A and B are shown apart, each in its own frame.
Chain A
Amino acid sequence: DAGVTQSPTHLIKTRGQQVTLRCSPKSGHDTVSWYQQALGQGPQFIFQYYEEEERQRGNFPDRFSGHQFPNYSSELNVNALLLGDSALYLCASSLGISGELFFGEGSRLTVL
């Protein structure tokens, strides 16, 4: 049974570019949450998707957007990249918005 899978594992972008990160939830899960983990910090909640809609959002600018597909997989998009967007982006899935979270290994984004 595959757990949460994320792609790509590593990527490098330059300032001003756009990036899309992808997440497939654990089998049987219907809710996907995204977190940003800057170096040396704890993860910070970006947003949560359930039934293809954004249900909750953390304190992140509109440059951060997402999508959930009918198969429950999700994408995180970041526009107009800044150096400060360099981080490990973690996807977590759950059964419903209250279920236990299972985390993927993350996508490490470096912005030059």
Chain B
Amino acid sequence: AQSVTQLDSHVSVSEGTPVLLRCNYSSSYSPSLFWYVQHPNKGLQLLLKYTSAATLVKGINGFEAEFKKSETSFHLTKPSAHMSDAAEYFCVVSYYGNNRLAFGKGNQVVVIP
């Protein structure tokens, strides 16, 4: 079964400092990987996705993630945190090339002014 692991359920960053959210996946073959963001009382929004093209994936709002097969990782980064980045972030893997998604437990990001 495919799964993702997100450590650090709560992450605090100061405004203007870098954001790093770690994600490791387990899969028997090359997966499709995603990062979603969920703001309070809002639906999930796709930040970015990796589907076996470029290993460095750029997403919306200045976020990017790098796929490292040797480390089975797909960490999410942003050079400078903004107050509006406060939200919950999910690393996600899809099954068998379709859109059935398996979510990690999430990282709750707090941005300190």
B-binding residues in A (CB < 8 A): 3-4, 31, 33, 35, 40-45, 48, 56, 58, 90, 92, 94, 97-101, 103-106
Return B59 CB to nearest CB of chain A, in Å: 13
Known: A42-B92, A98-B98. 8 other contacts (CB 8 A): A31-B99, A33-B99, A40-B105, A42-B90, A43-B44, A100-B46, A105-B41, A105-B43
Inside 8 A of A101's CB, which chain B residues have their CB? 46, 99, 101
Q: How many residues of B contact A (CB 8 A)?
A: 19
Instruction: Tell me the dominant secondary structure on chain A's binding face.
Output: loop
B99 touches A100 (CB 8 A): yes
Instruction: Select one of A31, A44, A90, A98 contacting B44, CB under 8 A.
Output: A90
- The answer to whether B31 has its CB under 8 Å from any CB of chain A is no
B99 touches A98 (CB 8 A): yes
Inside 8 A of A103's CB, which chain B residues have their CB? 43-45
Return A103 CB to nearest CB of chain B, in Å: 4
A-binding residues in B (CB < 8 A): 41-46, 49, 90, 92, 97-106
B100 touches A104 (CB 8 A): no
Nearest residue in B to A41 (C-beta to C-beta)? B105
Return A27 CB to nearest CB of chain B, in Å: 16
Inside 8 A of B44's CB, which chain A residues have their CB? 43, 90, 92, 103
Could you show 6 A-B contacts with beta carbons less than 8 Å apart? A42-B105, A45-B101, A94-B99, A103-B44, A105-B41, A105-B42
Q: How far is the CA of A35 from the CA of B102 in the complex (A)?
A: 10
B103 touches A44 (CB 8 A): yes
B43 touches A42 (CB 8 A): no
Inside 8 A of A97's CB, which chain B residues have their CB? 98-99
